[in-house]
Amino acid sequence: MDRIPVAGPWITQKEIDYVVDAASHAWYENANMYHERFEKAFSHYIGTKYAMALPSCTSAIHLSLLALGIEKGDEVIVPDLTWIATAAPITYVSATPVFADCDGKTWCISSDAFQECITPGTKAVIPVDLYGNMPEMDAIRDIAHDHGIAIIEDAAEAIGSEYHGKRSGSFGNTGVFSFHGSKTMTTGEGGMLVTDRKDLYDRCLTLRDHGRAHGEKMFWNAEVGYKYKMSSMQAALGLAQLERIDELVERKRQIFSWYRQNLQSVEGITLNCEPFGTKNSYWMVTAIFDPKFRLSKEDIIRMLKEKGIDSRPFFYPLSSQPAYDSLASVREAKVRNTVSYRISPYGVNLPCGMKMTYEYVNYVCDAVKKVVGVE
């Protein structure tokens, strides 16, 4: 490797064989054979009744909001620290995102912050299982239940994570996953929506097929919908990856354990945590650097780059982004969300692609220590 990449998949002959088979045979009456196998295996793995393969996690969030009837005038609470894909579909349905602060340990939405953001207009919350960690799901579910607020669990980054023995993605009215090439399991681009509710599942089936209800005659559309489908080749790749999911998640946990061994004794560097009762699948190994080092995340990324190491900045608070400048509530969020604004400037995602080795991790850790001047 010329450079150490920050993320990347682990593809074996099994994946190649499945994709070749799909390209050769998944046509005509077999056009859906890989979708059916992938969705069935996925819902079984997550522990939900239904799973729907989609072109992206973003489309899964979009469909979830539509199926839940979220519309103009409604508010949807999301964590301030997440990728914009969590929040963008709220704008697609003309509703308003409200950015809640994060918990200082898990970096996921804090249940207190969620509660604080609730107004009579709140219709849904999208907790994010950030970098593979899990928010306080019991508290979030209780609060949401008490206020009649729907939950869309954004598990894009957290396949294989668990909270008190229950798999990520199974905590909301819907759960959504991403299979982007950087994720623990990939279909190149792709996503999945899971749910236990037949009404939501049926509604999503209609919406993602240009408004044609499942079983309706061909080319007969009751409403204007969307074209959100995954190809057979992607479904085949996803099935092969899913059949290796334990191995993939274990590899992520192993890579993280190498980082922890090496960096845990360095004062001023905080790595991802794994709270009691949570299994963290550690999608992104992330370090928060103490401001005492007087280095911003951009400084650290630049200095690692000079050593052939790619890394990424911790997400910028959504309330700080030009995309949301015109939103009235961001002025308040900027002041209120102190944890998000404290963590984000000093957080860096370190290389943790599936091909990382013990030697590469140690090379990165040595470079990190040199950068902050502790070795």
Ligand X SMILES: Cc1ncc(COP(=O)(O)O)c(C=O)c1O
For CA atoms 308, 257, 157, 371, give the dihedral sign.
Answer: negative
Nearer to ligand X (CB atom), residue 178 or residue 286:
178
Nearer to ligand X (CB atom), residue 123 or residue 180:
180
Query: Taking CB under 6 A as the criterion, which residues in 61-100 touch ligand X?
Result: 82-83, 85-86
Cα distance between residue 275 and residue 362, in whole Å: 25
Residue 113 CB, nearest approach to ligand X (Å): 17
Q: DSSP letters along 264-277, please?
A: TTSTTEEE----TT
Q: Does 316 bind ligand X (CB under 6 A)?
A: no
77, 118 in Cβ contact below 8 A?
yes
Site string for ligand X, 182-221 (x = CB under 6 A): ---------x------------------------------
Nearer to ligand X (CB atom), residue 258 or residue 324:
324
For CA atoms 47, 143, 283, 312, give the dihedral sign.
Answer: positive
Q: Of 136, 153, 157, 274, which lies in the binding site for ligand X, with binding defined by CB under 6 A?
A: 157
Cα distance between residue 284 and residue 75, in whole Å: 29
- The residue range among 52-60, 207-215, 257-265, 359-367 that interacts with ligand X, by the rule CB under 6 A, is 52-60
- The residue range among 150-158, 256-264, 297-305, 344-352 that interacts with ligand X, by the rule CB under 6 A, is 150-158
Cα distance between residue 347 and residue 184, in whole Å: 21
Nearer to ligand X (CB atom), residue 56 or residue 320:
56
Residue 215 CB, nearest approach to ligand X (Å): 28
Nearer to ligand X (CB atom), residue 184 or residue 337:
184
Nearer to ligand X (CB atom), residue 348 or residue 365:
348
Q: Which of 169, 147, 166 is nearest to 156 (CA)?
A: 169
Helix or strand (DSSP H, E) at 46: helix 33-46
Residue 76, classed as helix, strand or coil, is strand
Q: Of 70, 78, 118, 156, which lies in the binding site for ligand X, with binding defined by CB under 6 A?
A: 156
What number of chain residues touch ligand X (CB under 6 A)?
14
- Chain centroid to Cα 131, Å, comes to 7
Residue 292 CB, nearest approach to ligand X (Å): 30
**Strand 286-289 relative to strand 166-167, pairing:** unpaired
The gap between the terminal CA atoms of the chain, to the nearest Å, is 25
Residue 303 CB, nearest approach to ligand X (Å): 25
Radius of gyration of the chain (CA): 21
Describe the strand order of the beta sheet including 286-289 as a list of residue ranges: 269-271, 286-289, 347-349, 312-313
Residue 318 CB, nearest approach to ligand X (Å): 11
Nearer to ligand X (CB atom), residue 58 or residue 241:
58
Query: Taking CB under 6 A as the criterion, which residues in 101-140 touch ligand X?
Result: 128
Binding site for ligand X (CB under 6 A): 56-58, 82-83, 85-86, 128, 154, 156-157, 178, 180, 191
